[in-house]
A = this chain, B = another copy of it.
Amino acid sequence: MPIIEMHLMTGRTVEQKRRAVAAIAEAAATALGVSKDTVRILITEHGLEDFAVAGVTVGGRSEKKPQT
């Protein structure tokens, strides 16, 4: 059954997403010994203020770091 939820930052191209789900489905099916047909992948995209590491959003972090 593998059901895979993938969380990404927004901004991937259609091409990147298609390549990613093709490669991940292939990888999962091979490693787990199941048919690729049983693999379902859901992508959820998150904006710059919707993902945080160490309590700081991606948007907040880039404001703090001056781009010298």
Q: Which A residues lie at the B interface, using CB under 8 A?
A: 1-9, 12, 14, 16-28, 30-33, 36-37, 39-46, 49-57, 59-60
**Cβ contact within 8 Å between A53 and B33:** no
Chain A contact surface mostly: mixed
* Copies of this protein chain in the complex: 6
Cross-chain pairs A/B with CB under 8 angstroms, 11 sampled: A8-B32, A16-B31, A20-B31, A21-B52, A23-B30, A24-B24, A24-B31, A24-B55, A40-B40, A40-B51, A41-B55
Report yes or no: B27 in contact with A20, Cβ–Cβ below 8 A: yes
A23-B31, A28-B23 given; A51·B57 CB < 8 A: no
With contacts A24-B28, A28-B6, A51-B41 taken as known, whether A16 is within 8 angstroms of B33 at the C-beta atoms is: yes
